[in-house]
């Protein structure tokens, strides 16, 4: 039994909360509706703006190695394949087995729809530098309410969305599998205790992934706290807290998947109360709950902390022209 299908095989007789949950339990669904309205508004205005909805120019004076551009194209291809595989593995297979859209599938949809939050890392400062060589159409930052940082940079449309999936439900499922393994070997361990070593593993995985991306100049972190930064002051600097932020984001997925294991299929903490709705509204309510949960996980675990770092950074590294903003 795999992590992706295990939750879909549990019946509704788990040990958790009953369906007498208060009406406030549907707040995640309402948040999902609000998020989708915001996404439609922001992306709609971006697409309608011919200047903003255009690739960042690749201008000198700096030039990147053609081998790094080739590596970027390979990563873009692999990233698209990963999106397709993630939908197949976590959405289609559990759906085929259970005959309905399961929690893992809804989280995949929510994770991908959380991608428009991406520009918030540059909400006030240029904290994340994108390569102009990536396939891009600029960025929608200008239309995000309250955005006062740079608005013209090269959102990597082919490689960036996949990170919301493999760093989200991918790492979350991996962490949950690790927790199960640790608790089988150490029956006295609580769930919280088993989370600590698995969280450290997620940090190491992210370190390897991001160090590779930075080395290939796919992106850079120009702003950081020097004391917590490798290669501080260099274009290739790596903020060590970045891997903690990513692991925290992934852990949000771990927690919601675990809650379904404990409480039974359809009774994760983001779905409580959905069963009290008319039958035709139950599945949409659950789906919109996942759509609301995913960007919340991204903001609380990653973008919120990064906004603080961007404002308080004490080291600002120079970046080449093809990683700059317009």
Written as six digits, the tokens of 295 are 């960007």
| Spatial distance between the Cα atoms of 307 and 302, rounded to a whole number of angstroms | 9
Closest CA to 80 of 164, 150, 142, 162: 162
3-state secondary structure of 218: coil
* Cα Rg, the chain, nearest whole Å: 20
Written as six digits, the tokens of 22 are 């208060």
Cβ–Cβ under 8 Å, residues 316 and 223: yes
Query: From residue 19, how far is each of 24, 107, 263, 276 by CA, in Å?
Result: 12, 21, 11, 7
Q: pLDDT-derived band of residue 62, with 50, 70 and 90 as boundaries?
A: very high
- 117-154, pLDDT tens digit by residue? 999 999 999 999 999 999 999 999 999 999 999 999 99
Mean pLDDT of 39-56: 97
Supply the pLDDT for residue 9. Answer: 36
| Spatial distance between the Cα atoms of 26 and 22, rounded to a whole number of angstroms | 8
| Spatial distance between the Cα atoms of 165 and 106, rounded to a whole number of angstroms | 12
Cβ–Cβ under 8 Å, residues 288 and 29: yes
Closest CA to 19 of 259, 292, 263, 285: 263
Cβ–Cβ under 8 Å, residues 2 and 263: no
Supply the pLDDT for residue 39. Answer: 98
- 14-36, pLDDT tens digit by residue? 344 444 444 446 899 999 999 99
| Spatial distance between the Cα atoms of 236 and 138, rounded to a whole number of angstroms | 23
Helix, strand, coil shares, percent, the chain, to 5: 65, 5, 35
Task: List CB contacts of 101: < 8 A, sequence separation 6 or more.
Answer: 91, 95, 283, 286, 287
| Spatial distance between the Cα atoms of 42 and 141, rounded to a whole number of angstroms | 8
Q: pLDDT-derived band of residue 1, with 50, 70 and 90 as boundaries?
A: very low
Mean pLDDT of 76-89: 98
Closest CA to 315 of 207, 244, 235: 235
| Phi and psi angles of residue 40, each rounded to the nearest 5 degrees, phi first | -60, -40
| Spatial distance between the Cα atoms of 304 and 298, rounded to a whole number of angstroms | 8
Closest CA to 5 of 104, 142, 152, 84: 104
Written as six digits, the tokens of 296 are 């919340």
Q: How buried is 96 (Cβ within 10 angstroms: 0-12 exposed, 13-18 middle, 19+ buried)? A: exposed
- 248-295, pLDDT tens digit by residue? 999 999 999 999 999 988 889 999 888 889 999 999 999 999 999 999
- 179-237, pLDDT tens digit by residue? 999 999 999 999 999 999 999 999 999 999 999 999 999 999 999 999 999 999 999 99
3-state secondary structure of 27: helix
Supply the pLDDT for residue 25. Answer: 61
Cβ–Cβ under 8 Å, residues 226 and 314: yes
């Amino acid at each position: 039994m795999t992590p992706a299908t295990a939750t879909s095989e549990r019946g509704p007789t788990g040990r958790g909360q009953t369906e007498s949950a208060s009406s406030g339990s549907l707040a995640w669904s309402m948040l999902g509706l609000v998020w989708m309205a915001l996404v439609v508004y922001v992306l709609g205005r971006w697409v309608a703006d011919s200047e903003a909805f255009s690739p960042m120019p690749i201008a000198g004076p700096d030039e990147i190695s053609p081998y790094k551009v080739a590596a970027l194209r390979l990563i873009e291809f692999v990233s698209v394949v990963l999106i397709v595989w993630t939908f197949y593995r976590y959405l289609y297979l559990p759906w085929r087995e259970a005959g309905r859209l399961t929690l893992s599938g809804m989280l995949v949809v929510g994770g991908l729809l959380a991608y428009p939050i991406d520009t918030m890392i540059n909400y006030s400062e240029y904290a994340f530098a994108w390569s102009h060589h990536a396939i891009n159409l600029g960025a929608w930052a200008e239309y995000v309410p309250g955005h006062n940082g740079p608005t013209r940079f090269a959102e990597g449309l082919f490689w960036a969305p996949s990170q919301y999936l493999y760093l989200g439900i991918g790492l979350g499922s991996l962490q949950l599998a690790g927790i199960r393994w640790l608790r089988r070997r150490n029956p006295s361990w609580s769930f919280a205790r088993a989370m600590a070593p698995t969280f450290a593993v997620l940090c190491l995985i992210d370190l390897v992934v991001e160090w590779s991306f930075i080395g290939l100049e796919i992106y850079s972190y120009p702003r950081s706290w020097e004391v917590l930064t490798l290669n501080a002051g260099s274009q290739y600097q790596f903020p060590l807290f970045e891997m903690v932020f990513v692991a925290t984001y992934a852990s949000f997925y771990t927690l919601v998947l675990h809650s379904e294991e404990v409480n039974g299929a359809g009774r994760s903490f983001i779905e409580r109360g959905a069963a009290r709705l008319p039958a035709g509204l139950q599945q949409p309510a659950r789906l919109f709950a996942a759509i609301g949960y995913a960007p919340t996980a991204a903001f609380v675990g990653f973008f919120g902390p990064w906004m603080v770092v961007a404002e308080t950074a004490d080291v600002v590294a120079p970046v080449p022209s093809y990683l700059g903003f317009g």
